Each structure stands twice: as structure tokens, then as C-alpha cells.
Amino acid sequence: MPLLIASSSVAYSVIMILSLWVFYGFYLLAEFITDRILKEFSQILKFILAVFLYAIYIKIGDITFPIIFLSLLPYLYLLIFSYIVYFCIKEYNGDKRSKFPITLLQYSILFFLVSFIREILGFGSVSLPFVYGVASFNIFGILGFSPPFRFFGTVAGTFIMLALLAMFYFWYNNDETFDIKGNS
């Protein structure tokens, strides 16, 4: 969910990716602290401590980038709960956490690519987080023409872009031939 809405600009995706990694770091810090103090309630304390540290991060980010954090605030909290649900499912299934940073890195790359492609093709610009909002560089305006695929700037265009990326990902990782017509 945060991927679709918050990926409308590169500036938002940079803040969301940074927030995701900060929360992961806070969770590792909370895990280190709680494993040393209380082992019985360590899982609950890990999440409480990580969310507390993340709330401090959000407050510092709100002071530093007030306009961006104002518009991203619901998605930043949604990001926490998505992370917690994903991590709890992985713990419940007994999967090892060693793959989690790789998954987080893949998600971060996907998030950045979707927002970059979406902003370039849909809006013709690239934006970066700035203290007083978003610094946007209109690339197609400088070159003298309009963005080629404005449809990709919409949420429906993002769904199609994600479907195409998923198709190419599965096609690349699959050993079978890619048959469009459905003939065997």
C-alpha cells in the first residue's frame, strides 16, 4: 500500500526507504537491548522500544522536513505496522531472519525504481527532499517537450507498471519458455 501512494515522487520514496531502514535499525537495537535485559518479554519489548525510537525519529524528521513528513505521516506509521506484520509472519513460519535484510533491500530498490520511473514518465521531473518541501527538477521542460506517458503518474499506471515488473521478474527467474499465445 505505501508503495503505490507514496511512490508518486522520488523525494517521498527516499524518505520512505530511509524510514524503513531506520525502523529496521531501531528494531535491531531494541533486540540487542531486550535480549540482554529481559528474555521473557523480549518480543513485546522489542516492538515497543522500536516503535518508541521510531516515533522519536518521526518527530525529528517532522522538524527537519515538515512538509514532506506532514503528507507522509500516515504512510510512515503504516510502514511500521507492515513491517511488524511481515516480521511476525516470518517468525511464525520459522523462517530465518538472515534473508530479511536482502528482502528489505529488494523492496527498497523496487520502491525507488517504481517512484523514479513513475515520476520521469508521468510527470517529466525528478524530485529530492528539501528542508522546505520538495525540490523538483523538470527534465522534460528543460528539453522542451511534455512527459511521454502521463498515465504512469496515476495509481492505475503504477499498478500496470508493477505488473510489468513482476512479469519480467518471473520471466527472468523461470526456466520455462515464455509463450504469449498459450500454445504448447
Per-residue pLDDT band for 119 (boundaries 50, 70, 90) equals confident
CB 22 within 8 A of CB 139: no
DSSP, residue by residue, 56-93:
HHHHHHHHHSHHHHHHHHHHHHHHHHHHHHHHHHHHHH
- Is the per-residue pLDDT at 67 higher than 70? yes
The amino acid sitting at 57 is Y
CB 140 within 8 A of CB 112: no
- Is the per-residue pLDDT at 49 higher than 70? yes
Q: Give pTM, 2 decimals.
A: 0.74
Calculate mean pLDDT across residues 74-82.
79
Phi, psi dihedrals of residue 20, rounded to the nearest 5°? -65, -45
39: DSSP letter? S
- Is the per-residue pLDDT at 95 higher than 70? no
Per-residue pLDDT band for 7 (boundaries 50, 70, 90) equals low
Lowest mean pLDDT among 6-15, 40-49, 81-90, 131-140: 81-90
